[in-house]
């Protein structure tokens, strides 16, 4: 269960008459100033610091955080210095805050169909739970063991599973006909558990002979088309132009006084 309020303590020596106190938060990526010497002395150095302004309440030798979320998990450092006694006094107290979060509803990534003989990977996505949830897989509502040979129901299957995260990698390699079924994943930690929506994966036989026959038919059709084009071109049906020739002959010089004729001939 997530705590809504958290109190962090910083016990410094009573000899510190005028202590200067700083609270810092280290998320592992950035260090943010949470509190500095009094409620009115906020230094808004970043958006993260601004988020603490209305949630962090200082009290003598301690700090109270309200509305804690997973983003608040990390190391809190209380730094105290004092010069009232004439010598510089300094100390720091480190507190590791862990915010436990139940897992959210995971998302199962399962293909709806897979060809027999292929390799299929399943994945279960859950990013909110802390500590990191354990992932378990179910087939037809039956828990899938990490080692399929340990259960007679799964001993003939070929899946593998990472024993640390239960995140399958190349789960079925190769896919078999008996791998068809309904799959879901479960995310669980000490704070709760959630299950994904079940997805049915159907396995099918790949028709290799049909694919080869289809390829051959396509090649034959392309060959016939190529032959038809070549034949039409070679016969002059396509790709050749015809030119007409016109021959004009001069009229004969022999003339008759009675009859005048002009002859011409056109040869195509």
Domain extents in the chain: 5-97, 107-204, 208-240
What CATH code would you report for 107-204?
2.60.40.10
Peptide bond into 122 cis (omega under 30): no
The yes-or-no verdict on residue 80 having pLDDT over 50 is yes
- Ranges of beta strands (E only) in 140-227 are 142-143, 181-189, 192-195, 199-204
**Which residue, among 89, 102, 58, 54, has the nearest Cα to 76 in the 3D structure?**
58
CB 129 within 8 A of CB 191: yes
pLDDT band per the 50, 70, 90 thresholds, residue 156:
confident
The whole-angstrom separation of Cα 197 and Cα 110 is 10
What CATH code would you report for 5-97?
2.60.40.10
More confident residue, 190 or 1: 190
CB 204 within 8 A of CB 115: yes
SS3 state of residue 96 = strand
**Which residue, among 91, 50, 97, 47, has the nearest Cα to 69 in the 3D structure?**
97
| Interacting residues of 155 by C-beta distance below 8 A, sequence separation 6+ | 148, 149
Check for a shared fold between 5-97 and 107-204. yes
The whole-angstrom separation of Cα 199 and Cα 215 is 34
The yes-or-no verdict on residue 150 having pLDDT over 70 is yes
The yes-or-no verdict on residue 129 having pLDDT over 80 is yes
The whole-angstrom separation of Cα 181 and Cα 166 is 19
Give the per-residue pLDDT at 195. 95
pLDDT band per the 50, 70, 90 thresholds, residue 262:
very low
More confident residue, 245 or 115: 115
Give the per-residue pLDDT at 37. 61
Query: What one-character DSSP code corresponds to residue 221?
Result: H
Mean pLDDT over 162-188 rounds to 78
More confident residue, 229 or 239: 229
**Which residue, among 49, 4, 2, 54, has the nearest Cα to 27 in the 3D structure?**
49
β 199-204/113-115 pair status: parallel
């Amino acid at each position: 269960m997530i705590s809504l309020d958290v109190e962090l303590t910083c016990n410094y020596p009573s000899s510190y008459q005028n202590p200067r106190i700083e609270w810092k938060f280290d998320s592992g990526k950035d260090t943010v100033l949470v509190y500095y010497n009094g409620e009115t002395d906020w230094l808004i150095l970043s958006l993260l610091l601004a988020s603490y302004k209305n949630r962090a309440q200082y009290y003598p030798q301690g700090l109270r955080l309200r509305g804690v979320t997973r983003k608040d998990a990390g190391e809190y450092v209380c730094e105290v210095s004092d010069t009232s006694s004439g010598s510089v006094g300094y100390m720091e107290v480190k507190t590791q805050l862990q915010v436990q979060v139940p897992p959210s509803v995971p998302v199962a990534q399962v293909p709806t169909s897979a060809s027999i003989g292929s390799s299929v990977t399943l994945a279960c996505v859950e990013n909110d739970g802390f500590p990191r949830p354990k992932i378990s897989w179910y087939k037809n509502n039956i828990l899938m063991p990490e080692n399929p040979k340990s259960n007679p129901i799964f001993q003939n299957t070929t899946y593998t599973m990472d024993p640390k995260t239960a995140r399958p990698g190349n789960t079925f390699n190769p896919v078999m006909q008996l791998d068809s079924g309904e799959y879901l994943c479960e995310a669980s930690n000490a704070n709760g558990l959630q299950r994904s929506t079940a997805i049915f994966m159907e396995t099918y036989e790949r028709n290799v002979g049909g694919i080869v026959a289809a390829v051959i038919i396509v090649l034959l059709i392309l060959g016939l088309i190529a032959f038809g084009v070549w034949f039409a071109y070679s016969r002059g049906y396509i790709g050749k132009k015809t030119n007409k020739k016109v021959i004009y002959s001069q009229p004969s010089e022999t003339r008759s006084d009675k009859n005048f004729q002009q002859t011409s001939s056109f040869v195509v």
